[in-house]
Amino acid sequence: MSFLNEEELESKIKELNNEILRIRSEVENKERERESLRSELNKVREELSSVIGQLNSKRAELKNVKDEMARLRKSRDDIVSTLKQLKERRLELFQKIKELVGRVKKYRELLKIINDLVGGKPVDKEKLKELIDKLEFEHEISPTDPEKEWEFFRTIQQLEKELNAAEILSRIREYISRDSQEIEKMRKERMELGQQMRNLYSNVLANIKTQIQELKKRRESIVNELIQLKGKRDSLKARRDELKRAILSKSAEIKELRTRLRELNDELNKYQLLLAAARKSKNLAMKKQEEMRIKEEMRKRAEEGLQKLMKGERVSLNDLLGLGLEEDNEK
């Protein structure tokens, strides 16, 4: 009977082999799961990189929009300042025109008064001067009496009054003409300023305001896109970290299984060695038993041959040799 239980060893080896196969299958499954996780992680990283690129692009676009809005606002403020200056200039011209119109009105009233004083007839200054010079010349060369002398002085005095009135009227007309020209010039400038203000307000300023409103809408749209992209980025980062943890967990599980697999292989090798030793021991015992059986049979044959020989019967050489071999073995 064998010292080691061969059946128990074979059963244990079978059990270990089954466990090793099961663990190897589990390791392969977990490695496939880990590879699947790594593949998903690579896709998540690629998508995250793409989202980060989109975020950077949108941030640059938002900066450009803000810069453009700042430029347009400065242009708008400059135009508003220009409109304010033009308005002040138009108001200034309006006040000056009002003053000049009032002054021209007074000149015209004075002109009417003087015209009424001179009889309302037109007065020619040059003719008056010629007439006065002529009368003075005739007075110098002609003999005069006191009555004519007095008539001459009254005539000259009247003519000088008319001449003075004519000069005053001429100056007043010059003032009226000068101020009227100035009024017309200012009115023209004021109209041009009004047209310039309308063009700035209706065309340039309105266009800038429209552009600013459009940029505001674009800014809001980009901000909303940024919010969505940030949410997607954060979600992808969370998924990436989750996958990394899952991969680390799978790697730890695989490492643990491989450690267990090495332990089982070591245990299997031990039991295989024990089985081999048990089988060898069993074979040696069986061989020894066989050798003892053969020797016993040969001894019996030899004894039978010897008995035959002692009886005078014929004995084969093999029987005698068997007996001799047995005796040699006993010695």
Give the distance from CA 136 to its chain's centroid.
102
Helices and strands: H and E segment counts in the chain: 5, 0
pLDDT digits over 53-84, tens only? 999 999 999 999 999 999 999 999 999 999 99
Confidence of residue 154 (pLDDT cuts 50, 70, 90): low
The amino acid that residue 201 corresponds to is Y
C-alpha distances in Å from residue 169, one per residue of 47, 50, 114, 274? 95, 91, 7, 151
The terminus-to-terminus CA distance of the chain in angstroms comes to 29
Please give the average per-residue pLDDT across 265-278, as a whole number.
Answer: 88
- How much is the pLDDT for 290? 79
Is domain 6-118+178-267 given the CATH code 3.20.20.10 in the classification? no
- Work out the percent of the chain whose per-residue pLDDT is above 90: 53
What is residue 119's DSSP assignment? T
Q: Sketch the domain layout of the chain as residue ranges.
A: 6-118+178-267
> And the tokens for 295?
């020797």
In this prediction, residue 146 carries a pLDDT of 61
Closest CA to 132 of 155, 110, 107, 114: 155
Nearest CA-CA partner of 158 in 177, 184, 178, 132: 132
The CA distances from residue 22 to 11, 18, 137, 143, 246, in Å, are 16, 6, 155, 166, 22
- Which has more pLDDT, 155 or 20? 20
Torsion of Cα atoms, 182 then 90 then 196 then 177, to 10°? -10
pLDDT digits (tens, 9 = 90+) for 157-182: 555 566 676 777 778 788 889 999 99
Among all chains, which residue has been given the structure tokens 């400065």? Answer: 74
The pTM for the full model equals: 0.58
Would you state the structure tokens that stand for residue 156, as one six-digit string? 């000259």
Tokens 């108001």 correspond to what residue? 91
Q: How far is CA 4 from CA 1, 20, 134, 266, 278, in A?
A: 9, 24, 177, 20, 6
* Angle between helices 125-141 and 146-199 in degrees, nearest 10: 160
| DSSP 8-class letter at 311 | T
pLDDT digits over 204-236, tens only? 889 999 999 999 999 999 999 999 999 999 999
